[in-house]
Amino acid sequence: MKPHQLICLICGHLNRFAAQGSSGWPDCWACNASLVSDAVAGIDEAIHNAAILHDSLPLIVGYWTPGSRSSRHTAAEFARTAKDLRDAARFAHLDPDSFPGITGIVQPAALPLIVLYARGIEVARSSCIPISTPNLGVYPARDSRSICVNG
């Protein structure tokens, strides 16, 4: 089995470990947070960029600015999907207004935006989940729930 490496979405440290064991996912060696959970992690720009580069699990990042009706709807559905897809992918949220540098990297045409990253590259982007991907199928695969905001 290939070893995993995951950036801690709480403190940003790189964790390397053997494949997921019977006891589940390990905690971060630096801060003891769960490396894989069913929660959406609020991340900053540094953790965002490191996780995209290093993670061996797919990372699904939602970009929106809190406060609007559409962002509240997206956040709620995003959180539900994160619980459904625990162990298959990690979910994170970043507010582009708080980290303006991210706009140059991600170049969102509109918000909310959801991007699936895997193996260091962007695989798919959409304003909604499920997002269909050429290499990984459709996320989520076993659930047709849609969090499309605009239809």
Site residues for Zn ion per CB under 5 A: 8, 10-11, 13, 28, 30-31, 33
Q: Which of 32/68 has CB closer to Zn ion? A: 32
Q: Which is nearer to Zn ion, 31 or 76 (CB)?
A: 31
Distance of closest approach, residue 50 Cβ to Zn ion, in angstroms: 12
**Eight-class DSSP state of 46:** H
Q: Which residue, 48 or 125, is less far from Zn ion as judged by CB? A: 48
CB of 83 to Zn ion, least distance (A): 21
CA separation for the pair 105, 16 (Å, rounded): 26
CB of 21 to Zn ion, least distance (A): 19
Q: Is the distance from CB of 79 to CB of 29 less than 8 angstroms?
A: no
Burial class of residue 89 in the structure, from the number of CB atoms within 10 Å of its CB (0-12 exposed, 13-18 middle, 19+ buried):
buried
CB of 3 to Zn ion, least distance (A): 18
Closer Cβ to Zn ion, 59 or 123, answer by number: 59
What is the DSSP track for 65-99? -TTSHHHHHHHHHHHHHHHHTTTT-EEEEE-TTT-
